[in-house]
Chains A and B, each alone.
Chain A
Amino acid sequence: MDIVKDMLLPCIYSLIASIAFGVQFNIRFRHMLAAGIGAMLTQLIFTCFEVSGMGQMLCYFFAAAAVSVYSELMARRVHVPVNMYLVIGIIPLVPGGYMYNTMITLVGGDIESFSHQFAEAVGIAGSIAMGVFAVSAIVRLCRIITKQAI
């Protein structure tokens, strides 16, 4: 595999794109950079898992879990809502290609590939949600135990 093309460039793209998304969500510049690095890490972790031959859904799950951990830690450190980092961080994982293919195959009337693509897109979205779920639930549990502010 081509390290620059398959690994480095997507990371850089997700960094730039997530900083631009930060503008759309009205995040101040100093938070934007940290959030962008979160998105870059997500992409990097996702690629690493994918290269190691892990199943696709699990890759999405662990990448989403990783970005949740990063956001929780960063948010705790600089005292901002977790959302600010999480929303930006999971953007590289959005299965845009699968969603598009789902639509195109439906328009073309190819029901077999449509159901395949649709299941794939829904599965990926579910995996991402579960990744975020798992980490947030654990963090919540810890905070309830230690009686800290949520």
Chain B
Amino acid sequence: MEITAKELLQITSGIGSMLIEYGAEIYRVEDSIYRIAAVYGFSGRNSGGEKKIEVFAIPASLIITVNDGNEAPLTQTVRISVRGTNLDRVDKLNNLSRYICVEKPDVETINRHIREIGERKVYGYPVRLMSYAVVGATFSLFFGGTPFDALFAGLISMAVFAVSIFVNKVKPSVFFQSVIGSVVIAAMAVLVSKAGLTDSFDKIIIGASMNLVPGVTLTNCMRDFIAGDFLAGMYTLTEAILVAVGMAVGAASSIALVSMI
């Protein structure tokens, strides 16, 4: 099964940009694309052959150049502005590239698989709302809170989820997102303790804040550094630090202001 440079470019940019958007590590993205291209006779980097492919990916963009040896090289750039976390789709895309490497299917089959993966179900709002509540409540207990703290941490986490849905509609930066989330958590926690419902607001804030911790970003950062993708690693590290600073700024200002009431 032979495919043209144009078709290869279309497939690889589709798979690569989806992988980045759903929170895969950058070295996985580059590696998958090189492997897929190698199956169709396009070799990368150090190996010989007429047909060439080069990939450069960072969390913000993906650049692929395909050269089939006869015509001028083709390049496609994909700018990725919004990234989320959907590890289920990353897993399925990973399976797809493994399948391509073994079966060498035609372009229509691959495109159909890509579309199917893009349409895979995500958890609905009620389930995600519950997960926020459970994370907040259990971490409040985990860090030594009382059952009352846990109850309020759960309720506040739900409020954060509701607020984040509205805030995300305007597509703010990650810094702004974490500031908003943190402000909501701290303000509500201080109000709860002001009302005399709990003794202290520490454990409520810690528990509910765990929902905002950039876990996937940090893990990807570490794994990209190990793989030698320093640019991608620095990008995600900066993002993680910004989120942490945003959380601190939000909580600090909110505690200071609400305590004055």
State how many residues of chain A have any CB contact under 8 Å with chain B.
45
Residues of A within 8 A of B28 (CB): 81
Interface of B is mostly: helix
Q: By the criterion CB–CB under 8 Å, are B215 and A17 in contact?
A: no
Residues of B within 8 A of A31 (CB): 91
Tell me the bound Cα distance from A97 to B205 in angstroms. 10
Interface residues on B, range: 35 or more
Q: By the criterion CB–CB under 8 Å, are A17 and B210 in contact?
A: yes
Interface of A is mostly: helix
Residues of B within 8 A of A94 (CB): 210, 213, 215
Query: A14 on the interface (CB 8 Å rule)?
Result: yes
Q: Mark B170-211, 1 if CB is under 8 A from A, else 0.
A: 000000000000000000000000000000001001110111
Q: By the criterion CB–CB under 8 Å, are B248 and A102 in contact?
A: yes
Tell me the bound Cα distance from A97 to B143 in angstroms. 7
Chain A min CB distance to B25 (Å): 7
Query: B8 on the interface (CB 8 Å rule)?
Result: no
Tell me the bound Cα distance from A39 to B88 in angstroms. 18
**By CB atoms of chain B within 10 A, which of A94, A103, A149 has the most?**
A103
Query: B36 on the interface (CB 8 Å rule)?
Result: no
Tell me the bound Cα distance from A20 to B210 in angstroms. 12
Query: A113 on the interface (CB 8 Å rule)?
Result: no
- Sort A-B residue pairs by CB-CB distance and give the 3 closest, nearest first: A23-B131, A20-B134, A17-B138
